[in-house]
Amino acid sequence: MHVEQRQQTHAKFKSAGISHALLANEQSVRWLTGYAPPMQLGTNLFSGGPALVWYEDGHFTLVVLDGMAGYAAGFEAQPDCTLVTYPGYTIQQPIAGADRLSDALHQVLPPSGVKRIAVEQNALPLRIVHELRQALGTALDIAAIDGWLEPLRMVKSAEEIAKLRANFALTDIGHAAARTATQVGQREIDVWTAIHSAIQQSAGQRVPLGNDCVVGYRENNIGGWPLDLEIRTGDSLIVDLSTILHGYWSDSCATYYASDPTAAQIKRHKMLEEALDFAISLVKPGAVAREIDKQVRNFVGDRGYAVYPHHTGHGVGVTGHEAPRIVPYCEDVLAEGMVIMLEPGTYEPGVGGARLEDAVLVTADGAEILTKHDKRLP
C-alpha cells in the first residue's frame, strides 16, 4: 500500500544524496504510508508530537501512538515500510506522550555515525531534534526538505484514485441531500446537517465534512461555514462540499435555489454551466495551469460578470487544496493521473452568487469527470 509513493520518494532522496530523513508533515506521512488517523477533534492529546516517518536507505518506519494504529485506515506493514508504536493514555501512569514518542524514535534510529539527515523542519518539534542530536551526535548536520514531496503528490496512483472516487461518491450523496433540503424557511445549518447525515449514513461511519454553505444575502457570500441564517424566497445557496475518507479529500460545489430561480439567477447559472464545461474542455496533458486560469476568468468576464476573486481550481489528494493550482502564477503542466477541481463562480456581495465545481481526472487525451452531482437548475 502506497508503495509507489515510497519508491518515488526513495528515488528523489537517492538522487539528492539523502540517506537518512525524518518526515513530520502530516500530509507527507499520510501520502507515504496511508496512515489516516481521525482528525475531527483536533490533535490527539496523548501523542506528544506528530506522527513520524523515519527513512533510511530506502526503508521507511512509521512511528505512531498505539491507540491510533487501529485507526490507520489503509496502513499495512510492507517489506519497505514497518510500524513502531508507543503507548498513549493509560490509567497506570502519568501521561507523557513526548517521552514515549522519543523512546519509540530511539528504537528506530541507527547507531551514531550518521553525519547528515534531512527533516521537515516546519513540522518537526524541537524536542525531537534534541533526541536526534542525542542519538546521532551534536555535530549532526540537519537539512530542510519541507515541500519536497508536494510535486510528487500531483500525479495520483491507481490506489489514490480509488480513494478519491470513494470520496467523490460521498459528496455526490451530500449534494443530492442539499438539493432536497434547500427550502424556504430552512437555515444554512439545517441544510448542512441534512447533507452530513446523508453522507455519514451512507458511509456507515463518521466522515469529516467541509467547506461552505452560504446564502446569497451574506455580505461575504463566496464561502463560509453554515450559520443560523434563514433561506428566503428568491435566495441562492452555494454548497461546497469536501469529505475526508481513507485520508483523502473530495471537493465539489453547486448552487441551489429555495424557490423558482429568477431570470437573473437562471442567466448567471447557465453562464457558469458553460464556463465549467469550457474549463473542463481545456484539461489535457500538456495544458499549463495558469493558462487555464486565464481563459476561464476571461470567459466569465467577457460575459459581463464579476470575475471570481478565488482560484479557478486546484489539485486534491491527501489535502483538499494542493498542486497543481489553477491560479495566475502557476506554471505547472497537467499530466495524466492528476486530479483537479475546476470551480468558476460569480458573486454580488450581500445579494447573491453562484459557483459550480467538478473534479476531473486528467486522462491520456483529456479529462474524466469524477463528480456526478446534479448541478443543473431545478
Residues that bind a copy of itself (CB under 8 A): 26, 38-43, 45, 48-49, 89, 91-94, 97-98, 119, 121-127, 129-130, 142, 144, 146, 187, 189-190, 192-194, 196-197, 200-201, 203-206, 208-210, 225-228, 242, 244, 309-311, 319-321, 325, 327-329
Contact (Cβ atoms closer than 8 angstroms) between residue 337 and residue 260: no
Q: How far is the CB of 83 from a copy of itself (least distance, A)?
A: 20
Sign of CA dihedral 151, 154, 155, 156: positive
Looking up cell 542530536 gives 133
Q: How far is the CB of 263 from a copy of itself (least distance, A)?
A: 31
- The H-assigned helical ranges of 182-331 are 188-203, 263-281, 289-302
- Per-residue DSSP letter, 210: E
Return phi, psi of residue 240, to 5°: -120, 115
**Between 34 and 261, whose beta carbon lies closer to a copy of itself?**
34
Q: How far apart are the first and last CA of the chain?
A: 43
**Between 317 and 352, whose beta carbon lies closer to a copy of itself?**
317
Tell me how far CA of residue 89 lies from CA of 47, 69, 246, 298, in angstroms: 9, 14, 24, 56
**Between 194 and 258, whose beta carbon lies closer to a copy of itself?**
194
**Between 161 and 327, whose beta carbon lies closer to a copy of itself?**
327
Q: How far is the CB of 103 from a copy of itself (least distance, A)?
A: 14
Contact (Cβ atoms closer than 8 angstroms) between residue 63 and residue 55: no
CA distance 309 to 352: 15
**Between 179 and 196, whose beta carbon lies closer to a copy of itself?**
196
CA distance 317 to 141: 32
**Between 303 and 311, whose beta carbon lies closer to a copy of itself?**
311
